[in-house]
Amino acid sequence: MTIAITDVVLRDAHQSLFATRLRLDDMLPIAAQLDDVGYGSLECWGGATFDACIRFLGEDPWLRLRELKKAMPKTPLQMLLRGQNLLGYRHYADDVVERFVERAVKNGMDVFRVFDAMNDPRNMKAALQAVRSHGAHAQGTLSYTTSPAHTLQTWLDLTEQLLETGVDSIAIKDMSGILTPMAAYELVSEIKKRFEVRLHLHCHATTGMAEMALLKAIEAGVDGVDTAISSMSATYGHPATEALVATLAGTEHDTGLDILKLESIAAYFREVRKKYHAFEGQLKGYDSRILVAQVPGGMLTNLESQLKQQNAADKL
C-alpha cells in the first residue's frame, strides 16, 4: 500500500521551528515546485498562522490562502482547525463555526484537520459537520497523550464517536513526540482492526522517536503520515520527508515521490530559513524532558519567543 505524504513545511514546520514567522513572500517562489511533487496534501494554514499573520506579520491570512491556492492548484491544501475554538482562544457559536468553514472552503481550503485539546468530540462536532456540508474533507483527530486515564480503549472510544459524528479520515496527532514506536503499532493496528477508516499519523521529532513511530505505524497499516522537507525538519519539528521517501523506496509502501524534486525544495528553504534565525528555538538534537513535560513542539518556539520579549527567558 502506497503511503500518502502530507508535507507541513508551510504551516507546522515553521510554527515549530521559528515561531510561525514564515511570510507569504517566502512561500510563493517555491509553491509551483511543491505543487509538482505529488503530495497527498500540503498543510499551509490554520494553527497559529492566522494569529501570527495579523499579530506579527501584517498579512491578511485570507489573502495568504487565496494566493497559495492559486499557486498550487493541483495539490489539496490542508489546515489545522481547533474545533469550536476555530483559530482563536475561546469557544465560538455554531453559526460562527459554520460561516468560518464556509469561507475557508470558498477561499481554497480542501482538508480540515479538526481537533480539540481536551479530546471532547462535542467540541469537534459542529466544525466536522460544517466541513462535510461544504464538500471538503473532514479529518477528525485523536490528540495523543499519556496518563492513567488515556488507555487504548480511550482512543478506540473516541474513534468510534468521531465516526458517528461523520468524518472522512482520522488523524493521530502526536504533538509532543511522546508516541512510542510500539504504542504506535498497537494503536494503528487496533483502530484498523475495528474500524474501516482512513488513518493518518502526525508526530513531532522533539524526543527522537518520531521516525521509528512512523515506520511502526506504516507496518501496522496507517494510510498517510506527516513530514517536513529536510531543511525544515527535526528538533521541535517533524521527521524529514526525504528520509522517509528514501526509506520506503522500492517497498510495498513506496511513496512515489521524486527525491530530486524534494532536494531542490530543501535547498530553497535552507537559504530562506537563514532570514528567520532570530526566532529559532534553542533546542539542539533531542529533548527527553518532553517525555515527562509533554509540551507540544508547535508551541515551544512561540513560548521561547514570548518569554524573550518579556525578559523572562530564564523561566523556561
CB distance 269 to 258 below 8 Å = no
Q: For position 179, what pLDDT does the model report?
A: 97
Q: Please give, one letter per residue, the 3-state secondary structure of 275-316.
A: HHHHHCCCCCCCCCCHHHHCCCHHHHHHHHHHHHHCCCHHHC
Q: Which pLDDT tens digit goes with each residue over 115-133?
A: 999 999 999 999 999 999 9
Mean pLDDT in residue range 57-65: 99
Say what percent of the chain tops pLDDT 70. Answer: 97
Environment class of 146 (CB within 10 Å of its CB; exposed 0-12, middle 13-18, buried 19+): middle
Give residue 287's pLDDT: 74
Radius of gyration of the chain from its Cα atoms, rounded to whole angstroms: 18
Looking at residue 245, its pLDDT comes to 99
Q: Strand 77-81 relative to strand 41-46: parallel, antiparallel, unpaired?
A: parallel
- What is the pLDDT confidence band of residue 300, given thresholds at 50, 70 and 90? low
Tell me the domains of the chain and their CATH numbers.
Answer: 4-315 (3.20.20.70)
Name residues whose C-beta falls within 8 Å of residue 132's C-beta, 6 or more positions apart in sequence: 138, 166, 168
pLDDT tens-place string over residues 244-262: 999 999 999 999 999 999 9
When the pLDDT of each residue in the chain is averaged and rounded to a whole number, the result is 95
Query: What is the full DSSP assignment across 92-153?
Result: --HHHHHHHHHHHHHTT--EEEE--TT--THHHHHHHHHHHHTT-EEEEEEE---STT--HH
